């Protein structure tokens, strides 16, 4: 029997599959999330980092139902990176004053919408962007609230695809940009500096890099306060808290929040608000990708299990060589070695190579764990495969469909035969 955070996974998946079949005549793979886990993860942060505020990283998980559950928490806002995410955050109930807008390449239209709404701030990544905001705000006769995303050049021990705080990365303002940016704000009546921010990467387990970043931001905080004659309202240390992908049941915490809280308190006292932008820490454990075995093929030394989910649903294993636990819901005695692959026409469509699992049979359900973050949000319709539905297990134990299966009509809706 496979238990996922207090629930028998076989029963849970069967209930969700039945609901999808009855309501939508749907019989494919799906995402399932647990509300109770979301509440727990939120609470862990609220208790672990007292006094701090959180801007949930919408890019990690953007389902409206899940976002609205997060929006209900007083100390949570939203960190968005596009007009689409901004729209979602508003629809989910985040007040504009609790939304920050990040991203290296904001368009003029996105800046205009953010200014019209009066969002908490734009996390500015370049001098050119700062000038755009100043100009568009002036045209609208409003004052744009901006924060500088700084590049602290901090080394983080994580996958090379997800480090962001190094000088060579495309993100943030360099030392020279910072001085220039302060001059621009000082000279622009249409700009107000409200914060300083840095995000150094993802899947971080050490407090050390955050402390280096906090110290770096402290120096810049002093410089900015002096140059502008007012202290920025907040300092944001970004997201990045790591999660352990090795277990399915896990609601484990692999980060020393107490040490971080103490150190950050020591560096900033109560001079300014401290923000974090967690994504994965909250959203990863919430979700599993449920998929059924379609066919089995014997190869030398291993068996290839073709499942009905594919790289277009969950691309992390293919894109980052990321490990996800894959747990057969039907437990058999014997153990065998499997390649778990999807039906997409590419060799890279492989969830796991040579993974030892309990014996599989056709139609068995698999739970692919820790799939709540950067899972459904990174899905595509490659191979014209439809986006799969999302299901929520509520705290009361109800099954709710929170995203319907995409239909063939929707797939082609915007295409025009000319
Ligand atoms: N803040 C900023 C400015 C970010 O760029 C990110 C993530 C976060 C917060 C949230 O980081 P988290 O707490 O989730 O680590 N697709 C990759 C991860 C890319 C992360 C990009 N930035 C993956 O699947 O591992």
Q: Is 320 in contact with 265 (CB distance < 8 Å)?
A: no
Q: Could you report the per-residue pLDDT of 14-38, keeping only the tens digit for each? A: 999 999 999 999 999 999 999 999 9
pLDDT score at 154: 84
Percent share of the chain, pLDDT over 70: 96
Residues 366-384: tens digit of each pLDDT: 999 999 999 999 999 999 9
User: Domain-by-domain residue ranges, the chain?
Assistant: 3-32+286-412, 49-283
**Average pLDDT value over all residues in the chain:** 95
52 is catalytic: no
Give the mean pLDDT of 360-364: 98
Cα 60 to middle of ligand 1, angstroms: 7
Per-residue model confidence (pLDDT) at position 231: 97
pLDDT at 113 over 90: yes
User: Residues with beta carbon inside 6 Å of ligand 1?
Assistant: 57, 60, 79, 102, 162, 164, 199, 202, 238-241, 277-281, 316, 320, 373-374
Tokens of 326: 């894959």
Give the model's pLDDT for residue 167: 64
Alpha carbon 248 to its chain's center: 18
Least confident of 4-8, 224-228, 378-382: 4-8
Look at 168-172, 195-199, 322-326 and tell me which has the smallest mean pLDDT.
Answer: 168-172
pLDDT band at 386 (very low <50, low <70, confident <90, very high): very high
Q: CA 71, CA 93: separation in Å to the nearest integer?
A: 6
For residue 81, give every residue at least 6 positions away whose Cβ sits within 8 Å of its Cβ, in sequence order, or none: 58, 59, 101, 102, 103
For residue 158, name the pLDDT band (cuts at 50, 70, 90).
low
pTM of the model: 0.96
Pocket test for ligand 1, best of 202, 257, 313, 321 (most atoms within 8 A of CB): 202
State the Cα–Cα distance between residues 41 and 36, nearest whole angstrom: 9
Question: Does 108 count as an annotated binding residue?
Answer: no
3-32+286-412 belongs to CATH 2.60.40.730: no
Task: Say which CATH class 49-283 falls into.
Answer: alpha beta
Site to probe by mutation for ligand 1, drawn from 57, 172, 243, 260 as the one with most ligand atoms within 8 Å of Cβ, is 57
pLDDT at 355: 97
To the question of whether residue 110 is assigned a binding role by annotation, the answer is no
Distance (angstroms) between ligand 1 centre and the Cα of 163 equals 9
List, for residues 61-94, the tens digit of each pLDDT value: 999 999 999 999 999 999 999 999 999 999 999 9
């Amino acid at each position: 029997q496979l238990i996922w955070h207090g629930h028998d996974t076989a029963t849970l998946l069967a209930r969700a599959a039945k609901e999808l079949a009855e309501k939508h005549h749907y019989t494919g793979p799906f995402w399932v999330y647990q509300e109770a886990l979301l509440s727990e993860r939120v609470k862990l942060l609220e208790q672990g980092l007292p006094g701090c505020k959180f801007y949930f990283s919408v890019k990690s998980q953007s389902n409206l139902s899940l976002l609205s559950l997060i929006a209900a928490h007083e100390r949570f806002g939203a960190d968005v990176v596009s007009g689409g995410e901004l729209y979602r955050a508003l629809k989910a109930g985040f007040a504009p004053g609790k939304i920050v807008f990040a991203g290296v390449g904001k368009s003029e239209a996105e800046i205009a919408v953010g200014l019209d709404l009066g969002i908490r701030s734009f996390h500015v990544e370049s001098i050119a962007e700062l000038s755009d905001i100043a100009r568009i705000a002036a045209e609208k006769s409003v004052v744009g609230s901006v924060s500088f995303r700084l590049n602290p050049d901090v080394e983080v021990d994580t996958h090379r695809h997800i480090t962001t705080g190094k000088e060579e990365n495309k993100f943030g303002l360099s030392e020279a940009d910072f001085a220039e940016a302060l001059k621009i704000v000082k000279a622009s009546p249409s700009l107000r500096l409200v914060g300083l921010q840095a995000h150094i990467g993802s899947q971080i387990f050490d407090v050390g890099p955050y402390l280096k970043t906090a110290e770096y931001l402290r120096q810049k905080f002093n410089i900015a306060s002096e140059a502008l004659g007012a202290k920025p309202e907040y300092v944001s240390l970004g997201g990045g808290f790591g999660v352990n992908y090795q277990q399915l049941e896990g609601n484990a915490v692999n980060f020393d929040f107490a040490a971080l809280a103490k150190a950050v308190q020591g560096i900033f006292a109560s001079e300014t608000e401290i923000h974090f932008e967690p994504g994965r820490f909250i959203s990863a454990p919430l979700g599993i990708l449920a998929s059924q075995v379609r066919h089995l093929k014997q190869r030398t030394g291993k068996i290839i299990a073709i499942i009905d989910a594919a790289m277009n649903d969950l691309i992390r294993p293919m894109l980052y060589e990321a490990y996800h636990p894959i747990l057969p819901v039907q437990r058999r005695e014997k153990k065998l070695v499997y390649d778990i692959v999807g039906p997409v026409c590419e060799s890279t469509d492989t969830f796991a190579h040579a993974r030892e699992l309990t014996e599989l049979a056709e139609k068995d359900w698999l739970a692919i764990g820790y799939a709540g973050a950067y899972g459904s949000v990174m899905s595509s319709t490659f191979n014209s495969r439809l986006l799969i539905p999302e299901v929520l297990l509520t705290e009361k134990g109800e099954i709710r469909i929170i995203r319907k299966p995409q239909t063939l009509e929707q797939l082609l809706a915007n295409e025009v035969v000319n």
